[in-house]
Each structure stands twice: as C-alpha cells, then as structure tokens.
Amino acid sequence: MHTALLTLAASTTKVKGPHIDWAGLSPLLAILGGIVVVLMAGLLRPRFAREQLVPGLTLVSLGAALGLTIWQLDDNKSLVAGALRLDGLSTTLTCLFLAAGIGTTLLSWRAMAPRESAHGEFFAMLLTSISGMIVLTWAQDTISLFLGLELLSIPLYVLCATEMRRATSLEAGLKYLIVGSVGSATLLYGLALIYGATGSTGYAETAAAFSTHSLSTDTLALTGIALVVVGLCFKCSVAPFHQWTPDVYEGSPTPVTAFMAVATKAAAFGVFLRFFDTALIDAQGTWGPALAALAAITIIVGNVGALGQSSLKRMLAYSSVAQAGYMLAGVVVSTSLGVRATVFYLAAYLLMNLAAFGVVIARERETGRGDDISAVAGIGASRPLLAWPLTISMLALAGVPATAGFIGKFQLIRATVDGHYAWLGIVIVIGSMISLGYYLRVIAAVWTGDAVESAQVATGLPALAGGSPDAEVTGPAAGPAWEVTLVAVVFGAAIVVFGVIPQPLFDFVARAGSAFSNLI
C-alpha cells in the first residue's frame, strides 16, 4: 500500500504539460516581463521616473530581447508543443521588430503622445504590440496566428489615439479599430473555412491535407484562402484594401506611424510568407496569380496616390502601400529566393522609413508646421544632419543605386524573373518611375526651398479631462531632440552602408530562406 501511494504520487507529478523550451521562448518572455515592469514604473510619482526611466526600461527590455534573439539566431526548434517555432524566419523578423521598437522608443521619448496618455501605458502598449508580432510570426497553427494578430492589433488601435487632444488622432484610432476589426474578422472566417476543409489548425497538417486530399481546387478551401488573403491585405495595406492607410498614418502620432509603417508591415509579411509558403503551398498555382494581380494593382495605386500629396505622412503612407506591392512580389513567386528578397526588402524598408520619419518628427517639433512638406524646405542649408538622411532615404525608396533600397529592388526583380513572373518585375520598375515624381519633390524642397523659422506649436489646446498632469505642461518638447536626430543619422547611414556592402545583410536574411525546406 505504501508503494501504491508512492506510485500514485509519482504518477500525479508525472501529469505534466508540454515540454517548454524556456531558452527558445526567452525573447518573448523578455518583452512580456518588460511590459509588466514598464507599466509598474509608469505609476511612480517622480517625473523623472515616468519621463526618463520608463523609456529607458523599454529600451532595456527590447535590448535584452534582441540579445536573446541573436543568441539563438541559427537555432531551429519547435516550442510549446508545436504552437510556435523558432527558426531562421522567426529570428530574422524578430530582430527587425525589435530594431523598429528601439527606433520608435527613441522617437517617442520626448514626444507629445506619451505625455498625453501616460508614459507607462504608452510604452507598455508598444511592447505588447511587439510581443504580438513575435507570436504572429512564430506561430505554427492558425490559433496562435490569430492570437498573435490580435495581440499586435489591439494595442495599436489605442496607440493611434494617444494624442488625445487632436481630433485627427482620435479619428485615426477609431478608423483603424473599425477597419482592423473587419480585417481580423475576415481573416478569422477564412481560417475557419480552411479548418473546415482540412480538419486541422496546424500548418504542417494543413499542408499535408492539401496534398493528400488535393484540396487546391476545393471550393471551401479556396474561399478560405481568399478570405485570409483579404484579411492579411488589410493588415499590410495592399490595394484595394489600403484606404485606411493614408488617414490613419496622417492622424496617428508620428512615432506610432513610423512603428506601424515598418513593424506591422514586417509582421504581416512574415505571416504571409509563413502561412502561404508552408501551409498553403500546394494551392500556389491558384493564389499565386491572384496575389500577383494584387501586387501590380498595389504598386500602381500606391505610387499614383502619393503623387499629389503635400503632407509627408500621407505621402509616406501611399509610398508604404506601393512598397507593400513590391514586397508582395517576393511572396508571389514562393521560392526560397523570393522569401529572402522579401525579408531583405523589409530590412531595407525599415532603415529607409525610420530615417525619413526621424526627420519628419524632428521638423514637426521644431517648426510647428506639422508634417507638411514646407516643414522640411530649405533644411539643406540649415540642418544638414537632417537633410542628408531624408535625401538618402528618399533616393533609397526610389531605388537609386548605392542604397539598400536599390539592392532590395534588385533582389526582388531577380526573384520575379527567376520565378517566371518577369512582367511583375517590369511593373516594379514602372512603379519606381512614378515614385520619382514625389520623392524628388521632397529632395528639391530640402535643398532649394526657403527655410522655415523655428516656431512655437500652437498653444491653447483644450484641457484634458482626467488626463495626466504632465499633459498640461505642453508646448513643443523641451530640449534638443538629439535622439531623434540620432535615429535619422544612424538609419540614414545604414542605408548607404548596406547599399555599398550588402553582403552582411544578405547573410542575415539567408536564414529566413533556409527556414523553408520545402521551397526551391
């Protein structure tokens, strides 16, 4: 009886959950821990704690996560009973999210938005969103995919509305909430239909079901795929599902816009690559041409839309739509080369956009003209440290040689030609031609326009009912925004460095390609 008790005790202890690889999860845990700590630190009384310590702790958390990711850069393992997977694509994209997070934290350090919405909450939201991106791109089944997507989106809806006394910011938050929810719902419906057709939620099982039951012509499965495409296209603003982008980008606080532009896009493309090139690869013959058509439409719509814009944020919003079209070309071909090209372009895109947004934010604070193109006019003579990053970023976005943007486009066009979509390569260059029309306008303004004298931000904003007391200490952010200039200069320099010596970046993204053993 004694032994029976012992065995019983032993068997109860043996009832255990799945094996958890804590090392593999550590980047995610660092972010989750960061959220708690930052939220707590935001409650402290001293102003220093809120205004300096909170962003500092955010940076520490992001830095720790980055270190833990780089430590396991070449690992390839399944986590949490196969719900998540740490492989080349996961680690590469996670590095991009964390870099974007670090950039955004620096850009919003002394910005208006965290002061109006309380620092702890703002930075905790930012970290939550990043944790969602990590879950989303590491996901190996559709349940974790949806979980990650919502974890990414919901904090963003809030972040868009954090400049509470600006009606456009609130409007942006609401608009993004509504459109984003529609996108999520569509995606969820699509996932449910695919589940109905295949009987499984795991990517590997889905792929197996597709090949064994030859579902690539099955109506249920195809409807599901179509709805998933629509849902994801909402997220990465692919035309014709991009209409929310210009308004939301313009209305949101600029650091948040920068974050949305680079990190959200990287996450959405991560899941595009992961889900379509793993789970749905057997139906590539069906969704490939459809995505190619969407890519072509997106390139044209985005570039034409950007032509007439005088708001830099709207212009960059349309440009981000166009860039999404370029990157979609790498998904369309569904080859290992295509994956590498897309991830490379995501990295280049991150550099280019953070440099540009850094300059926009710096001028926004200095001139009080908002993000109008006149805010950057004439800075070539007065602020060379801002003028050069913006110039380089615009040239890179247009695809001029010796920039990372050129190499990225080069690789994308190569992937399209290699994957028998040469016509899409031609569409990419046609898009680049149109894009010159608006990128050059910015450069011309920077180097020839009349400089704007520094002006105070309009005062007399409405008081914030129940708002944090810091918010009342308004006016333009005090002190020189050296960290904003730093972001612009560092990312601007990186554009040129990786444009001239791109091999390290190629080696870095090669891991993402190796994550797909099924692709050629």
Partner 1 sequence: MTIHLSIMLWAPAALALAGALIPGGRTVSRALAGVGTLIALGYAITLVADYKSGGGLQYVTDRMWIRELGIHYKLGVDGLNLFLILLTSVLFTATTLWSLSSERAREGQYWLQLGLAHSFVLGSLMAQDLALFVAFFDLMLIPFFFLSLGWGGGRRDERIAAITKLVIYTLVGSLLMLTAAIALAVLSASQSGNDLSFAFTDLQKVTLTKGSQEWIFLCFAAAFLVKMPSFPFHGWMPDGYKAMPMPVLAVFSGVLSKVAAYGFLRIVVPLLPDAAVHFQTLMLLIALASVLYGSVMAFTTTNTRLILGYSSLAQLGFIVLGIFSLTEQGAQGAILQSVNHGLVVAPAFFLAGAAAVRSGGSEDLRDMGGIAFRAPVLTTIFLIVAMANLAIPGSSNFVGEFLILLGVFNAKLAIACIAFTGVALASVYTLRLFIRAMHNRVGQDVTSRDVSLGDAVVLVPLVLCILGLALYPQLALKKGEQTVKGSVAAARAMTHPPKTAAAAQNGSVLNTVKTVPAGTPVPATGGTP
Closer CB to partner 1, residue 135 or residue 428? 428
| Closer by beta carbon to partner 1, 23 or else 497 | 497
User: Distance (Å, rounded) from C-alpha 394 to C-alpha 387?
Assistant: 11
Task: Judge residue 295's burial from the number of C-beta atoms within 10 Å of its C-beta, 0-12 exposed, 13-18 middle, 19 or more buried.
Answer: buried
Q: How far apart are CA 118 and CA 124, in angstroms?
A: 10
Whole-angstrom Cα distance, residue 187 to residue 225? 9
- Name the residue nearer to partner 1 (CB basis): 165 or 441: 441
Measured torsion, CA atoms of residues 471, 476, 482, 487, in degrees rounded to the nearest 10: 80
* Residues that bind partner 1 in the complex, under the rule CB under 8 A: 381, 395, 399-402, 406-407, 409-411, 413-414, 417-418, 422, 425-426, 428-429, 432-433, 436-437, 440-441, 443-444, 447-448, 502-503, 506, 510
The owner of tokens 């797909």 is 516
- Find tokens 């749905």 and name the residue: 280
Q: How far is the CB of 409 from partner 1 (least distance, A)?
A: 8
Helix (H) or strand (E) holding 381: helix 379-382
C-alpha 396/C-alpha 407 separation (Å) is 9
Closest CA to 28 of 176, 170, 137, 119: 137
- Closest approach of partner 1 to the CB of residue 199, in Å: 40
CB of 426 to partner 1, least distance (A): 6
Least Å distance, CB 441 to partner 1, is 7
Q: Minimal distance in Å, beta carbon 500 to partner 1?
A: 9
Supply angle C-alpha 352, 358, 364, rounded to 5: 135
Q: Which is nearer to partner 1, 297 or 436 (CB)?
A: 436
Half-sphere exposure of 320 (CA within 13 A, CB side): 38
Pairwise CA distance, residues 353 & 114, whole Å: 21
Q: Provide the minimum distance between the beta carbon of 382 and partner 1 in the complex, in angstroms, as a whole number.
A: 12
Reading the block at residue 356, the tokens are 């540009």
Tokens of 289: 């041409």
CA dist., res. 468 & res. 464, Å (int): 8
Smallest separation (angstroms) from partner 1 to the CB of 422: 6
Closest approach of Cβ 458 to partner 1, in Å? 29
Distance CA 330, CA 414 (A): 10
CB of 311 to partner 1, least distance (A): 19
CB of 398 to partner 1, least distance (A): 8
How far, in whole angstroms, is CA 480 from its chain's centroid? 28
Residue 44 or 434: the one with the smaller Cβ distance to partner 1 is 434
Half-sphere exposure of 408 (CA within 13 A, CB side): 32
Angle at 329 between CA 402 and CA 85, to 5 degrees: 100
- 371 contacts 312 by C-beta, under 8 angstroms: yes
